[in-house]
Amino acid sequence: MLSMLGNDQGDGPGGFLLLNDQFEVTGTWEASREGMQFNYDFWYQPRHNVMVSSEWAAPNTIKRGFKLDDVKAGKYGQRLHFWDWKGRKIARTFDLGGDGLIPLEIRFHHNPNSTHGFAGAALSSVMWHYHKAGTEWKIEKVIEVKPVKDVKGWDTPVPGLITDLVLSMDDKYLYFSNWLHGDIRQYDVSDPANPKLTGQLWLGGLLGKAREFRGKKLGGGPQMLQLSLDGKRLYVTSSLYSAWDNQLYPEIAKDGSYLLQIDCDTRNGGMTLNERFHVDFGKEPDGPARAHEIRFPNGDSTSDIWN
């Protein structure tokens, strides 16, 4: 099952594409797209007959680069859809308003009996917690990254821009990246409604807090994340999407992006950058490359869902 931003004309929403075990297209998953305007990520909990999906924007909007006027014109999403998994249609939609602009990544608990999960609103830089109370789904804001004023080259305050998040397999730690601010955060979410910050690393960004690594300052910002099954190794890359990279971190086109490893303390919390691990995508044989998604061949913290 694949999530699609749009159709072959670049308009949204794209819906969800189904492939068989031979990777042949068999059709779409959804029985109805009523209520959908945009599409992006999804995660499901079959034991609770639910799937949650998020909204980015239509490809025609994204590929032009980020424009604040597009947000004001309603061309970006701000809603989460809760689907009837068996009926394959939207059962309820939450409009997150100004605190939920561009909700991207969705993560349920790995425990298939749990109804708790998190969604990160990128532009608003807000982490949302959702869960089921009785028969009703509830959603609440649990973390907010404040925008930073007076950043060189910016006429407006710079948002953190939460572009990715991942939950550890034991559902204890939540990690997310602020692509523009340049930090990765680790929270103890043993109590999902009350996250506690337990670690933070600066790996680039626009705030001038980038650390030196291998003799030079890290460029770009931390973007996509992936966590090993044992929760001890967090990997991070720095490219989001070429049109946005070129606009916000133009040096990526010349220098390429990076893949770094972060060592995580799974008992007490905390993170340290592994000084011995660095994949420099600026030195590829065919020129600088943009590293994005990360996957482990035998399973990782975003690939495995149980039912």
Number of structural domains in the chain: 1
Query: What are the pLDDT digits (tens) for 96-127?
Result: 999 999 999 999 999 999 999 999 999 999 99
Within 13 Å and on the Cβ side, how many CA atoms surround 131? 14
Does residue 289 form part of some domain? no
Supply the pLDDT for residue 303. 80
- Which residue, among 1, 5, 58, has the nearest Cα to 29 in the 3D structure? 1
Rounded average pLDDT over 18-46: 96
Supply the pLDDT for residue 301. 92
Does residue 196 form part of some domain? yes
Does the pLDDT at position 267 exceed 80? yes
Alpha-carbon distance of 127 to 144, in angstroms, equals: 6
Alpha-carbon distance of 43 to 56, in angstroms, equals: 15
Does residue 48 form part of some domain? yes
Least confident of 58-62, 83-87, 279-283: 279-283
Residues forming beta bridges with residue 131, ordered by sequence position: 138
Does the pLDDT at position 27 exceed 80? yes
Q: Which CATH number covers residue 129?
A: 2.120.10.30
Supply the pLDDT for residue 298. 86
Supply the pLDDT for residue 184. 98
Does residue 254 form part of some domain? no
Alpha-carbon distance of 301 to 264, in angstroms, equals: 14
Does the pLDDT at position 219 exceed 90? no
Residues forming beta bridges with residue 227, ordered by sequence position: 234
Rounded average pLDDT over 32-53: 96
Segments forming the whole domain that contains residue 94 = 2-212
Does residue 145 form part of some domain? yes
Average pLDDT score, the chain: 96
Does the pLDDT at position 293 exceed 80? yes
Model pTM score:
0.96
